[in-house]
Amino acid sequence: MAVREEFLDIRGKNIQMLSGGAGDPLLYLHSAGGEVAWLPFFEQLAQHYTVYVPGHPGFSRSEGLDQIDTIEDLVFHYTDLMDQIGLDQPYVAGLSLGGWLAAELATRYSNRLKKLALINPAGLRVPGSPMADIFAANPQETRRLVFHSPESDLARSFIPDDPPQEVLENALRAREATARVGWNPYLCNPKLRSRLYRVTVPTLIVWGESDQLIPLAHGHAYHAGIEGSQLAMISDCGHAPPFEKPAETVTHLSAFFQ
C-alpha cells in the first residue's frame, strides 16, 4: 500500500507524519518508543481506514520539543494538528504514552472524537500498582518489560542489544522527549483518574495480559473510570499489542470502531 510521508508546520513545529489507506480517518498516537514507521499494524488498519501516524514533537524526525513541557501541551498540539489537516471526529487510538495522551485529549474534547481506543495506556496513578521504571532499564530489561517473549526475534528487532548509531540516536531522542512530559510525576497525571468521567466518547481499552511495565490494575482503573467503556484482553502479549499481536489488535479495534 502506498504510504505518504510529509512534514507539517504546526504553529512553528516541524512535524513528521505518515499516512495511508482509505476510509474514515484514524489518528494513531504513538508510544514512548516513537514508532513513526509503517508497521504491519498500520498496514492492516489501512485496509479499513485512512491512518495518520504523526510523530510527537521531539520524536523520530519531528521537531518542536522546546515548545512542550507537559502532557497538556501535547493535547493542544494535537488539536492544532487536527485543525490543520481537517480531521473532523476521527477515530483515535493510542499506545502507552500515546494512550495517556489520547485519554487526556478525550477528557477535554470528547466531542471532537468519534471513538477512542486506549492500548495499554500510561497516565494513571494506581496505589499499590506502580509502573516499572522504563528510564532505568537496559535493552534486556526493556524487552522483558515490553514483550511477552523478550528474547524473540521480534523483540530483538524492536529493542536490539547493540543498536546501530541511527537507532540509538532516535532512542535517546525518544527518551528525552518522554522525560519532558513524564519524568515527574512519573508517566502519569495524578488528576487524570478523577477526570475520566469527562470521557463521553465510546471507548475501548485493549490490554496485553503479560504487560510487565504497566500492571493490569491500570487497565481496570481506566475501565472503571470511563463509563460504558469496554476492556479487551490479549493473551500471550505484553505491553505493545500493535507490535506483538498486530492482527488481533486490529480485529479488536475494527470490530469496536464499526
User: What's the whole-number mean pLDDT along residues 110-122?
Assistant: 98
β partners of residue 12:
none
User: What's the whole-number mean pLDDT along residues 35-57?
Assistant: 97
pLDDT band at 190 (very low <50, low <70, confident <90, very high): very high
Instruction: Please state which architecture CATH assigns to domain 4-257.
Output: 3-Layer(aba) Sandwich (3.40)
Q: Domain segments of the chain: what residues?
A: 4-257
Residue 1 pLDDT > 80: no
Residue 111 pLDDT > 80: yes
Mean pLDDT, rounded, of the chain:
97
Grid cell 493542544 — which residue? 76
User: What's the whole-number mean pLDDT along residues 214-241?
Assistant: 98
208-239 residues labelled b (16+ CB within 10 A) or e (exposed): bebbbbbbbebbebbbebbeebebbebeebbb
Beta strands in the chain (DSSP E): 4-10, 13-21, 25-29, 50-54, 91-95, 115-119, 203-208, 230-234
Name the pTM for this structure.
0.97
Residue 85 pLDDT > 80: yes
In degrees, rounded to 5, the angle at the alpha carbon of residue 95 between the alpha carbons of residues 79 and 221 is 95
Q: How far apart are the first and last CA of the chain?
A: 22
Residue 167 pLDDT > 90: no
Percent of the chain with pLDDT over 70: 100
Percent of the chain with pLDDT over 90: 95
